[in-house]
């Protein structure tokens, strides 16, 4: 199944049914009078967060969602049938944006959450509604109210506890593969990861979700490379893990590149707790490792973890540090007798 995190859809609620003009004409009823019924209500358009979905691919093949119109009123004081509602089922974590792609209409962060996007039109009054003591045979009825038509955007932001950041080929996918059962594509060329991946990692009888997004390059916030649209998938994370390639000859510049992109992206992303790790240390000798570690710590201004996704060196310490930054209510605690998701 393809991954799709942005979709444009067109919605329209149903129009209300027209009121009816009718008079009771029966052979043995001397004073019949008006008996036109009201029109039915038009159907509404709702959006609901459901379980079992992690992509918006369904909206690639259907972009138009029109609710049913209400039925017109009928004689004998019969009200028209209400139009059926339409429900857009989306993954948890989906944002509903207005046509300008900036105004947030709803943020679907909880399972079962339901939001009204377009309310159906009310049905018109039949002539029975206008009967008075001075107007006992009204010949007027109201038309039904028009439905609401609008264009909206659906943007998916994955629900994860920790997010991975780094340049292409920094080792993010290898880290996710080594610490979870996720199997992202791994290769020795840039931009191997083309869409976000999720993995459940475990340490000290606790599990949490890690999100791996495609690598960023300088100028990503301006649309260079794959761009920064995937950064939305780590906006909801409690902590970010910044991986720096230890074999790079410009590792300090690499670190500042990612930090600069976070600041250019704006919002709260640059202010989130961030853990820095020097990756691929198994490819360095002791002298090179110490030199790279010292240079990166000076750039970060704080501690830097040493790790390797291939040899699994230092992974446990990194996972424990990530766990310490995640609130207990976001963790999935396991009984002592359960086996760990991953063992170093």
Question: How large is the average pLDDT for residues 180-198?
Answer: 60
Of the candidates 154, 223, 210, the one whose C-alpha atom is nearest the C-alpha of residue 4 is 154
Beta strand pairing call for 114-118 and 197-203:
unpaired
Q: Are residues 167 and 280 located together in one domain of the fold?
A: yes
Counted domains in the chain: 2
Length of the chain equals 344
Q: Are residues 131 and 259 located together in one domain of the fold?
A: no
Residues of the binding site? 166-173, 191-195, 212-215, 279-282, 308-310
Q: Are residues 182 and 147 located together in one domain of the fold?
A: no
Question: How large is the average pLDDT for residues 243-271?
Answer: 85
pLDDT surpasses 60 at 115: yes
Q: Which residues contact 75 (CB under 8 A, 6 or more apart)?
A: 20, 22, 24, 35, 36, 37
User: Residue 136: phi, psi to the nearest 5?
Assistant: -90, -5
pTM, two decimals, is 0.73
Residues of the binding site for GTP? 166-173, 191-195, 212-215, 279-282, 308-310
Distance CA 301, CA 298 (A): 5
Q: pLDDT tens digit string along 259-300?
A: 888 888 776 777 889 999 999 999 889 999 999 999 999 999
Q: Which residues contact 148 (CB under 8 A, 6 or more apart)?
A: 12, 13, 45, 118, 119, 121
pLDDT at res. 228: 58
Q: Are residues 317 and 175 located together in one domain of the fold?
A: yes
Q: Are residues 117 and 175 located together in one domain of the fold?
A: no
pLDDT band at 2; cut points 50, 70, 90 = low
For the chain, give the mean pLDDT: 85
Q: Are residues 127 and 223 located together in one domain of the fold?
A: no
Distance CA 4, CA 298 (A): 39
Residue 114 tokens read as 């339901």
Q: Are residues 99 and 172 located together in one domain of the fold?
A: no
pLDDT surpasses 50 at 301: yes
Distance CA 172, CA 162 (A): 12
Residue 320 domain-assigned (yes or no):
yes
Q: Are residues 13 and 145 located together in one domain of the fold?
A: yes
DSSP string, 250-299: THHHHHHHHHHHHHHH-TTGGGS-EEEEEE-GGGS-HHHHHHHHHHHHHH
Residues of the binding site for Mg(2+)? 173, 193
Q: Classify burial at 179, counting beta carbons within 10 Å of its beta carbon; exposed 0-12, middle 13-18, buried 19 or more.
A: buried
Other beta carbons within 10 angstroms of residue 295's beta carbon come to 15
């Amino acid at each position: 199944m393809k991954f799709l995190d942005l979709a444009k859809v067109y919605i329209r609620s149903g129009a209300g049914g027209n009121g009816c003009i009718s008079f009771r004409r029966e052979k043995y009823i001397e004073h019949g009078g008006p008996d036109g019924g009201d029109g039915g209500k038009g159907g509404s358009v709702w959006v609901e967060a459901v379980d079992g979905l992690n992509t918006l691919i369904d909206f690639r093949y259907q972009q138009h969602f029109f609710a049913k119109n209400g039925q017109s009123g009928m004689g004998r004081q019969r009200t028209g049938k209400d139009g059926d509602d339409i429900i857009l089922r989306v993954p948890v974590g989906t944002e509903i944006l207005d046509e300008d792609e900036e105004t947030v209409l709803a943020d679907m962060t909880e399972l079962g959450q339901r939001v009204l996007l377009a309310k159906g039109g009310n049905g018109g009054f039949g002539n029975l509604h206008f009967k008075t003591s001075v107007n006992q045979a009204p010949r007027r009825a109201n038309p039904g109210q028009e439905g609401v038509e609008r264009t909206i955007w659906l943007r998916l932001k994955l629900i994860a506890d920790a997010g991975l950041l780094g340049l292409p080929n920094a080792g993010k996918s290898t880290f996710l593969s080594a610490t979870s059962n996720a199997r992202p594509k791994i290769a020795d060329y840039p931009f191997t990861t083309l869409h976000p991946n999720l993995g459940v990692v475990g340490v000290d009888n606790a599990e949490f979700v890690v999100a791996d997004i495609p690598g960023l390059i300088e100028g990503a916030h301006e649309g260079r490379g794959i761009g920064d649209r995937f950064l939305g998938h780590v906006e909801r994370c409690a902590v970010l893990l910044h991986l720096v390639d230890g074999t790079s000859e410009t590792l300090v510049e690499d670190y500042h590149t990612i930090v600069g992109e976070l600041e250019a992206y704006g919002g709260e992303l640059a202010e989130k707790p961030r853990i820095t790790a020097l990756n691929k240390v198994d490819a360095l000798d002791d002298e090179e490792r110490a030199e790279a570690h010292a240079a990166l710590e000076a750039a970060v201004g704080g501690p830097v973890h040493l790790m390797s996704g291939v040899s699994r060196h230092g992974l446990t310490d990194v996972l424990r540090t990530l766990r310490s930054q995640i609130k207990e209510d976001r963790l999935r605690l396991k009984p002592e007798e359960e086996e760990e998701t991953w063992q170093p």
